Structure 1
Amino acid sequence: MKDKAKGLCRVEERYTQWKSLVPVLYDWLANHNLVWPSLSCRWGPLLDQATYKNRHRLYLSEQTDGSVPNTLVIANCEIVKPRVAAAEHISQFNEEARSPFVKKHKTILHPGEVNRIREFQQHNNIVATHTDSPQVLIWDVEAQPNRNAVLGAATPSRPDLVLTGHRDDAEYALAMCPTEPYVLSGGKDKCVVLWSVHDHISTSAVEAGSNDKQGSIIGGNNEKGAKSSSIGPRGIYEGHTDTVEDVQFCPSSVHEFCSVGDDSRLILWDARVGSSPVVKVDKAHRGDLHCVDWSPHDINFILTGSADNTIHLFDRRNLKSGEVGSPIHKFEGHDAPVLCVQWNPEKSSVFGSAAEDGIVNIWDHDKVGKTTADSTDSKEPNTSPGLFFRHAGHRDKVVDIHWNASDPWTIVSVSDDCESSGGGGTLQIWRMMDIIYRPEEEVLDELEKYHSHIFECNS
């Protein structure tokens, strides 16, 4: 108990220090207190653009205690454009309140907890969810009716499509192909399963004929049918010896994908050559692997995050089956298991990581090995190579992060605050000051311009 109290005290001290620095570190920040914990947050499409802010779709989950149904929340979020917010506005947020920038648009009563949410990039209104079951659930969020999560609420909302094929619960590993309507999943059955929603489209087109509903790849759902449509897998891939924790498509191929699991393995697959692994790295980390992301900028780069508190950057050209993984670099900057890694959608060398230590780290692997005279002479403890920003706005484990593709330096992050506060969660939307990530020469030129302008005004 004493150790836990000391830990909470350190977290509060860190948070207080972080909060005092918010006006100088952030271009914009919104803090949204959640009544229930959330395990997943994802950006949807850009909805509207205005002079000073844009409106985006945001998906998040609410994990209740069972007194009311679990929900999939579709929210509309206003994001202030770069260099618009004033420092006073940024600093005057209330961590105990709900942000006026985040508004619920629709609530879907989810059958079970929402462990993962993933969106179809080709179809803005379609999302997939994982829960504590073998199925993957597909939702048309526009066609789904709005439901209220109240005490004694009726039956859950009915998904528009159910993907079957796992033999045991598949709770976390979930990915959508960026180029085609394909879905990938992993589960406790140690399998990776692949589906094509095209298979359902073909069947629906034949069955619906001229009455086929337009505007949705899955036909919509008016909740009046007896049960949801379902489809089986295109392929089932076996090579793991423990639970598959995360999966990811190669950004340039619907046939190539990778998976990681509690067996410490990183496996690369190619559906064109069968159901056996193409490359199976038996020891990619010293602990369980929780997350993986494949670079959208260079298809040879793959990131993995682990229970050993580290992130590894692999070059798939150097991977060999049956061996210990040899990463290009090992990133060490977390004090607890890494739960999420994701590449920045704009700058190819930048990625983010979130962990159980309550920190979101932003890295640039191009900075690894580069030092300056100031850093070598400094008496400060050595920082982790490549680490250039630490977001310490959460006070408990950060379970998910997502860069905004339409606003590439804006991040949504969510923490499960049950350990620190006994319940609820914190959703934060933030963008660091651009002088932190822009090229040094460009920043210095701009600062010199302002220096000259101020000097002229004073003279």
Structure 2
Amino acid sequence: MARNPKKKNRSKAAKNRQNGSSSEATLAPAATRVWQPGVDGIEDGEELQFDPSAYDCLHAFQLGWPCLSFDIVRDALGGLRSSFPHTMLCVAGTQADVAANNAVVVVRLSNITGMKRKQPLGGNDESESDSDSSDEDEDITTEVGAIQPASKNPVLQVRMVAHQGCVNRIRAMQQQPQIVATWADTGYVQVWDVGVHIRSLSSGSAETSTGLSSIVRQAPLQIFTGHKEEGFALDWSPLVPGRLVTGDCKSFIYLWEPSEGGRWNVENTPFSGHKSSVEDLQWSPTEASVFASCSIDGTIAIWDVRSRTQAAISVKAHDADVNVISWNRLASCMIASGSDDGIFRIWDLRSFKDDSFIAHFKYHNAPITSIEWSPHEASTVAATSADNQLTIWDLSLERDAEEEAAYQAQLEQKQAEAPEDLPPQLLFVHQGQKNLKELHWHPQIHGLMVATSGDGFNVFRPSNLDNLAAS
């Protein structure tokens, strides 16, 4: 039975919506304001600055080559964590200059520290601040870490496993996080066991404690060559361990079923029905036999694994390519979709038909490159776009001008002035990364997000997400 997201009546006041960058003149004191790429210019003597108060933490790291797909690996450190410092595991796939230089990268980032900041308005809990840092510590920027005191830099550890060809997409199995599937630009889908590398990183062995490592060679558990062209769509079932679907640029979708000996049986007959490339796949969080797909043909389809010749439902969802979809795991009647024209939409599967979307957002001015619902808040969704913005939206927000004015009057200093035409549901804007490709919420750390782009990774937690949890 699908569960509706809870409704809240909160304003879009600054306490509930923040922006990770602002523009401030260096020649004369002037009010700060939110800067919008593609809309605002940068004048002589003007520079962009991020607002530290907008983040509980903000760190950056690189892995040598761009990694345009990654996945967060579930760990054994706790089901839901909030107190700094944090440790996280992830897997990523490189886009190297030549095929032979590519790798599956296993990453452990530890000592993820929080921002040192003044006491928040009306609060007295200092557990989330980086209280051990000294105001006199020298601020530095390194390959690992944003502007943080030198003693508080995160520790990056990696293991690199040779991978033939660029990695189009990579996903870790939820039930067995050491099992990873990759889509290569060679047209092959491969499954890997990276457990030995996760254990090596967790043990803190000397050869992995200082950053990037040499590439090791390892045979994949299985290689599937049945796709006739490369692809990007890939998803593990959250309900049936080892069940996998993969979709290619020829419009075909294949079902993988686990078998004995750590192998998979891939069905000979693909799911067919899309008229063009399958761009993304998502399993239902509540029905083991059901998954969704989206395509360049502009449609979203719902499939049952017991029927391969025709989708159970197919809906014309966008007027442009549908690049990405996300199935809400907390409100299973909801699917979000993002398209090539910068639009993303929210759909209710209980009334799923053409033009039946329940929300439509045209904020981004370039293709949506990823979209994902929060694992901890049913009404919150995040998206990345080729306009170099990552946005977080709370679909339950409504504007309350009186509440905004009352909250602003309590602040010690005036916040950056946001454009009046911003949607009330827009909760946060993160900027500073170029060629944003993919984002993920950490499933075990409240509010922590990771985003990858052409110039590396950002790990951050917006400071206003705590307001959601407390509401």
User: Normalized against structure 2, the TM-score is what?
Assistant: 0.74
CA 1:274/1:33 → structure 2, altered by over 3 Å: closer, same or farther? closer
Q: Which runs of 5+ in 2 are unaligned?
A: 1-36, 115-126, 146-152, 201-207, 407-416
For residue 436 of structure 1, report the CA deviation from its aligned partner.
6.0
Aligned pair partner of 2:267 in 233, 237, 257: 233
Note the 1:245-264 alignment, pairs <5 A.
245-264=279-298
For residue 252 of structure 1, report the CA deviation from its aligned partner.
1.3
Cα separation, 2, equivalents of 1:316 and 1:52: 38
Secondary structure of the corresponding residue to residue 90 of structure 2: strand
Partner amino acid for 2:72? W
Residue 247 of structure 2 corresponds to residue 186 of structure 1: yes
Q: Which runs of 5+ in 1 are unaligned?
A: 1-5, 205-217, 219-228, 417-424, 444-459
Residue 448 of structure 2 corresponds to residue 387 of structure 1: no
For residue 191 of structure 1, report the CA deviation from its aligned partner.
1.2
Cα separation, 2, equivalents of 1:355 and 1:315: 23
Aligned pair partner of 2:229 in 141, 144, 168: 168
Cα RMSD (Å): 3.4
8 Å Cα contact 1:30/1:429 also seen in 2? yes
For residue 12 of structure 1, report the CA deviation from its aligned partner.
11
Cα deviation 1:410-459 (Å, max 9, x = unaligned):
0011111xxxxxxxx221100111466336xx58xxxxxxxxxxxxxxxx
Match of 2:144 in 1: 98
Cα separation, 1, equivalents of 2:273 and 2:136: 52
Match of 2:94 in 1: 62
Match of 1:135 in 2: 188
CA 1:415/1:90 → structure 2, altered by over 3 Å: closer, same or farther? farther
Cα separation, 1, equivalents of 2:136 and 2:337: 37
Cα deviation 1:273-328 (Å, max 9, x = unaligned):
4531111113x1121011001010111100000111011000112223xxx33210
Q: Which has the higher helix share?
A: 1
Partner amino acid for 2:444? S
Cα separation, 2, equivalents of 1:52 and 1:415: 25
CA 1:379/1:177 → structure 2, altered by over 3 Å: closer, same or farther? closer
For residue 102 of structure 1, report the CA deviation from its aligned partner.
4.6
Cα separation, 1, equivalents of 2:182 and 2:226: 15
Secondary structure of the corresponding residue to residue 357 of structure 1: coil
8 Å Cα contact 1:164/1:233 also seen in 2? no
Residue 467 of structure 2 corresponds to residue 401 of structure 1: no
8 Å Cα contact 2:85/2:113 also seen in 1? yes
Cα separation, 2, equivalents of 1:91 and 1:347: 37
Aligned pair partner of 1:295 in 307, 328, 348: 328
Cα separation, 1, equivalents of 2:277 and 2:69: 19
Cα deviation 1:319-346 (Å, max 9, x = unaligned):
23xxx33210102221210010001000
For residue 124 of structure 1, report the CA deviation from its aligned partner.
2.0
Match of 1:114 in 2: 167
Partner amino acid for 1:17? L
Partner amino acid for 1:116? R
8 Å Cα contact 2:439/2:451 also seen in 1? yes
Secondary structure of the corresponding residue to residue 272 of structure 1: coil
Partner amino acid for 2:168? N
CA 1:91/1:384 → structure 2, altered by over 3 Å: closer, same or farther? farther
Match of 2:66 in 1: 37
Secondary structure of the corresponding residue to residue 17 of structure 1: strand
User: Normalized against structure 1, the TM-score is what?
Assistant: 0.76
8 Å Cα contact 1:62/1:73 also seen in 2? yes
For residue 18 of structure 1, report the CA deviation from its aligned partner.
4.0
The percentage of aligned residue pairs carrying the same residue is 24
CA 1:113/1:280 → structure 2, altered by over 3 Å: closer, same or farther? same
Residue 128 of structure 2 corresponds to residue 83 of structure 1: yes
Cα deviation 1:380-406 (Å, max 9, x = unaligned):
431124111001131x12101110011
Residue 354 of structure 2 corresponds to residue 318 of structure 1: no
Residue 14 of structure 2 corresponds to residue 17 of structure 1: no
Partner amino acid for 1:307? D
Match of 2:412 in 1: none
Cα separation, 2, equivalents of 1:12 and 1:67: 42
Partner amino acid for 1:124? P
Secondary structure of the corresponding residue to residue 83 of structure 1: coil
Cα separation, 2, equivalents of 1:432 and 1:379: 17
CA 1:379/1:305 → structure 2, altered by over 3 Å: closer, same or farther? closer
Larger RCO, structure (CA 8 Å, separation 6 or more): 2
Cα deviation 1:124-144 (Å, max 9, x = unaligned):
211111111333211100247
Cα deviation 1:351-381 (Å, max 9, x = unaligned):
11001011110001111x5443466999943
